Amino acid sequence: MPLDGTRGRDGAGPGGGGREGGPELATRTVSASGRSFAVAVLRFANGDFISVSEGEGRLGQMVASLAGAGPAPVTATVIPSKTDALFLRLVAERASSASGGIAVVSSSVRAGLGAEAAKALMSEIAEMVRRGA
Give the domain CATH number at 88. 3.30.230.100
Other beta carbons less than 10 A from residue 6's beta carbon: 11
Assess whether pLDDT exceeds 90 at residue 9. no
Domain that includes residue 70, residue range: 24-130
13 inside domain? no
The pLDDT of 37-61, averaged and rounded, is: 93
Q: What is the pLDDT of residue 20?
A: 58
Residue type, 126: A
Domains contained in the chain, number: 1
CA distance 73 to 69: 7
Low-confidence winner among 16-30, 34-48, 57-71, 77-91 (lowest mean pLDDT): 16-30
The answer to whether residue 9 sits within a structural domain is no
Average pLDDT, the chain: 83
In a domain, 14, yes or no: no
Output the pTM of the full model: 0.80
Span of 8-17, 67-76, 84-93, 108-117 with lowest mean pLDDT: 8-17
pLDDT for the residue numbered 11: 38
* Helix (H/G/I), strand (E/B), else coil: 29: strand
Per-residue pLDDT reduced to its tens digit, 57-71: 899 999 999 998 778
Q: What pLDDT was estimated at residue 3?
A: 41
The residue with greater pLDDT, 82 or 105, is: 105
